[in-house]
Amino acid sequence: EIVLTQSPTTLSLSPGERATLSCRASQSVSSHLAWYQQKSGQAPRLLIYGASNRATGIPARFSGGGSGTDFTLTISSLEFDDSAVYYCQHRDDWPPGATFGGGTKLEI
């Protein structure tokens, strides 16, 4: 079973700064990694799929990188509205279940 470990647990930054969030897999997941944003009281929203592809409607300030076991989500020029918990997620064709990381809480 693949385990996803996110770091840091909490990140406090100011508007305009850059945030770098990390997700490490216990074994190679190729580029099969997605990132989600979950604001308080809301459902998660897909940001990045395939490690580096922005989902529809996601601003270019959000970018994903990495492959194999180490991945990053970068948010440039932070805004107050970016305050949320960010999760990474992996899934393969088989078995078809998904794994989520524990999340990083971003405070602006």
Partner 1 sequence: QVHLVESGGGVVQPGQSLRLSCAASAFTFSNHGMHWVRQAPGKGLEWVAVVSSSGRVQYYADSVKGRFTISRDNSRSTLSLQMNSLRLEDTAVYYCTKEGGAGSGSYLSFDLWGQGTRVTVSS
Compute the CA torsion angle 80, 49, 9, 42 (nearest 10 deg).
Answer: 50
Q: Which of 50, 70, 77, 79 binds partner 1 (CB under 8 A)?
A: 50
**Which of 45, 61, 67, 76 touches partner 1 (CB under 8 A)?**
45
CA distances from 19 to 29, 37, 47 (A): 23, 13, 15
With tokens 């991945």, the residue in question is 71
Q: How far is the CB of 70 from partner 1 (least distance, A)?
A: 18
- Answer for which of 21, 23, 25, 49 binds partner 1 (CB under 8 A) is 49
Residue 53 or 77 with smaller CB distance to partner 1: 53
